[in-house]
A and B are shown apart, each in its own frame.
Chain A
Amino acid sequence: GNSVTQMEGPVTLSEEAFLTINCTYTATGYPSLFWYVQYPGEGLQLLLKATKADDKGSNKGFEATYRKETTSFHLEKGSVQVSDSAVYFCALPGIQGAQKLVFGQGTRLTINP
């Protein structure tokens, strides 16, 4: 089945710093790719997604580009805020066309003022 490997955390940055969280995947075909975010004490919520190669997903200042050449979907933000402190998960369908998602191990991000 498909799998995803995420950059290990935790990551600590100062406010307004540039953020990159790496995600690489192994998959059959070209599945949709996702970033989910989990704020403290809450469930996961979809942050952004890309459904085909070279697509760029974006939301709340975050971006990720689906790169099939490097099988990557790195999450970036140009200027982070304290409110971005959360755990970030990269995900993709377990097998092609499947409904269930498999998640990376998560990267805990802490932003200091």
Chain B
Amino acid sequence: NAGVMQNPRHLVRRRGQEARLRCSPMKGHSHVYWYRQLPEEGLKFMVYLQKENIIDESGMPKERFSAEFPKEGPSILRIQQVVRGDSAAYFCASSLFRDTRWYTGELFFGEGSRLTVL
């Protein structure tokens, strides 16, 4: 499967625990984006990363949330000390960066990780 791979698909945590969500981008893609979808709401941008760099984290909550995209391995979204309000679907997307003259803007999404906080 050459698509964006996310795991786990479903994750249940109790309040105060940590959640780690993983995303492997499409082959050849070097840009990863994380979005959050709350129940019955649209997608909210969280963070945009390249390998070893956070490019834009303007949508990330200031506390408890962090993201990384190491040189080797998947991108990880980490939520510490989860609360019930963190229950949501977290989607990862990837893109193949091109010179902006050729920019198409298309993102390729994974199937999401659904976090439930008890």
- Residue numbers of A with Cβ under 8 A of B are 31-32, 34, 36, 41-46, 49, 51, 89, 92-94, 97, 99-106
Measured in the bound complex, the distance between the Cα atoms of B111 and A17 in whole Å is 29
Whether A43 touches B109, Cβ cut-off 8 Å, given contacts A100-B56, A102-B45, is: yes
Measured in the bound complex, the distance between the Cα atoms of B103 and A106 in whole Å is 24
- The interface centre, meaning the residue of A34, A46, A93, A101 with most chain B CB atoms within 10 A of its CB, is A101
Does B111 contact A101, Cβ atoms closer than 8 Å? no
Does A44 contact B109, Cβ atoms closer than 8 Å? yes
Q: How many A-B residue pairs have CB under 8 A?
A: 62
Interface status of B107 (Cβ within 8 A of chain A): yes
Q: Determine how close the nearest CB of chain A comes to the CB of B13; give it in whole angstroms.
A: 20
- Residue numbers of B with Cβ under 8 A of A are 4, 31, 33, 35, 41-43, 45, 48, 55-56, 91, 93, 95, 97, 100, 103-112
Write out the residue numbers on chain A whose beta carbons fall within 8 Å of the beta carbon of B103: 32, 93, 97, 99
Does B42 contact A103, Cβ atoms closer than 8 Å? yes
Does A49 contact B106, Cβ atoms closer than 8 Å? yes
